[in-house]
């Protein structure tokens, strides 16, 4: 996730290392933060792999007097960015956070790839909703298994948590559907300009 985040940020413009850290932490925070050591190690790894390189500090659109290394993405780094953006198989358990990052940087993908990713996420949300509903159904249709806990706070907490999770995934799906509609509208508007 951090590799995608750093490469995504550098797709926009060169950045000072401390700005990469600040923007990354603002994006994924407040409870998960990229430590300076982790970021420094990642930047060194990306630089050694030829995905990023040092850049002229004057090219950063945010002037500063603070001394800091400045990085820009390379062509190899752009290829890796596209690879990470289109990856829908790794980190499935953490994909919600990853897709939130991807959604910010969809503009760098073709319209076809944007639609593919958003459709994939809509299906991902629907899969989560169906999983929870299946659990609820098993819970409700097997009274013998839950007989001993019915009427307890434990039972109530499980039922309310299932409802909450269903509502949260439904909201995610609605947001992704709206995102798809925005992309489709943008495509439609671009086609009108071409005529």
- The pLDDT tens digits for 117-128 are 999 999 999 999
For 49-86, letters b (16+ CB in 10 Å) and e give eebbbebeeeebeeeeeeeeebbbbbeebeebbbebbe
Name the region of 11 (left: φ>0; alpha: ψ -120 to 50; beta: rest): alpha
**Euclidean distance between CA atoms 169 and 23, whole angstroms:** 26
More confident residue, 67 or 90: 90
First to last CA, the chain: 40
Q: Which residues contact 86 (CB under 8 A, 6 or more apart)?
A: 109, 113, 116, 117
Evaluate if residue 147 carries a pLDDT over 70: no
Whole-model pTM: value is 0.86
Q: Which of 115, 117, 102 is nearest to 8 (CA)?
A: 102
**Euclidean distance between CA atoms 6 and 15, whole angstroms:** 10
The predicted pLDDT at position 25 comes to: 84
- Percentage of the chain with pLDDT > 90? 59
């Amino acid at each position: 996730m951090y590799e995608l985040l750093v490469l995504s940020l550098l797709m926009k413009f060169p950045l000072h290392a401390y700005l990469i850290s600040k923007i990354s932490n603002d994006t994924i925070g407040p409870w998960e933060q990229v430590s300076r050591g982790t970021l420094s190690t990642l930047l060194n790894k990306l630089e050694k792999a030829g995905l990023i390189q040092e850049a002229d500090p004057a090219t950063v659109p945010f002037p500063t007097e603070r001394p800091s290394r400045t990085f820009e993405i390379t062509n190899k780094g752009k290829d890796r960015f596209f690879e990470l953006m289109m990856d829908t198989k790794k980190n499935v358990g953490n994909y919600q956070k990853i897709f939130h990052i991807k959604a910010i940087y969809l503009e760098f993908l073709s319209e076809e790839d944007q639609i593919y990713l958003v459709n994939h996420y809509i299906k991902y949300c629907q899969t989560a909703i169906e999983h929870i509903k299946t659990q609820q159904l098993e819970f409700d249709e097997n009274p013998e298994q839950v007989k001993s806990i019915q009427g307890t706070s434990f039972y109530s907490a499980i039922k309310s948590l299932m409802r909450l999770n269903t509502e949260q995934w439904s909201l995610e799906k609605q947001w992704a559907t709206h995102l798809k509609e925005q992309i489709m509208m943008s495509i439609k508007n671009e086609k009108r300009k071409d005529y």
